[in-house]
Amino acid sequence: MYSNGYIFRYASIMVILVAALLSAAAILLQPAQERNVKIEKIQDILRSAHIESTTSDAEQLYDKHIIKEIVINAAGEEVGVYAGGKFEKGDRRAFFVDVKSELKAKQQLAQGKQAQEPVFPLFVCRKDNEDIYIIPLYGVGLWGPIWGNIALKGDFNTVEGVTFGHKGETPGLGAEIATEIFTAQFPAKTLFDANGNFASIQVVKGGVANSSIDPAHGVDAISGGTITSNGVSDMLRNCLENYVPYFKNQKAL
């Protein structure tokens, strides 16, 4: 019969050993996990411009097609430019700008709280001798975060393509934002109205045809996924409005 002290010591040693093994495994696997996250991000960026890639060729295609990474401030000024493997301006790469953190900083400043001035990432993709501008997106769905990328043609207005992702939206409902049936509605939509005012793109419950929304700025919502659909609308507006000053600056050049 083992004493209580023996059982306690044995259990403590086993807990320590298991914890050590798990920690070692996490450390050893961390580089692979970080690489997988990087590759997935690259693939999402490329896919928004209709460039398909695999885990083996994603980085090569990124280097081929993404000719410039730009970081802009609230005034629409370029404060960071990375191209050809080196910095042309500033020292921040758009690829490593965390959109979630920058949106939070923007909100804190609006609330009068102290925060660093937010900056936002922009990727310039060259495809078939045309430049496409890709903007990362971040928002909130029904059960958690949603995200994506939207690619615009060289007029900074017309949508080339989009990708969306989510952490835990309901399969068959909110999770449908990640399907081609939903994303296929976005190409050729526009962000600005005929007067040059920012209109964004709205995800319309009940369908665009049954609403007063200009079809150029609306897509049909997901049936049964109202909250997620609203989250996509909010995400698009909250993210894209940060680029309006930059777009207007570029058009004025």
> What tens digit of pLDDT does each residue of 108-126 get?
999 999 889 999 999 999 9
Query: What tokens appear for 104 in the block?
Result: 């939070």
In a domain, 46, yes or no: yes
Query: What tokens appear for 84 in the block?
Result: 């050809």
Where does the pLDDT of residue 76 fall: very low under 50, low under 70, confident under 90, or very high at 90 and above? very high
Query: What tokens appear for 92 in the block?
Result: 């921040």
Query: Domain span at residue 95?
Result: 41-252
When divided into structural domains, the chain yields a total of 1
In a domain, 162, yes or no: yes
The stretch 30-55 carries a mean pLDDT of 88
pTM: 0.87
User: 45: buried, middle or exposed (CB in 10 Å: 19+, 13-18, 0-12)?
Assistant: buried
- Residue 128 is classified by DSSP as T
In a domain, 16, yes or no: no
In a domain, 98, yes or no: yes
Q: Which of 59-73 are b and which e, b meaning 16 or more Cβ less than 10 Å from the residue's Cβ?
A: eebbeebbebbbbbb
CA distances, 130 to each of 48, 55, 249, 253 (Å): 15, 25, 20, 18
In a domain, 61, yes or no: yes
Residue 82 reports pLDDT greater than 80: yes
In a domain, 209, yes or no: yes
In a domain, 34, yes or no: no
In a domain, 28, yes or no: no
Q: Which residue has the tokens 């995200």?
A: 147
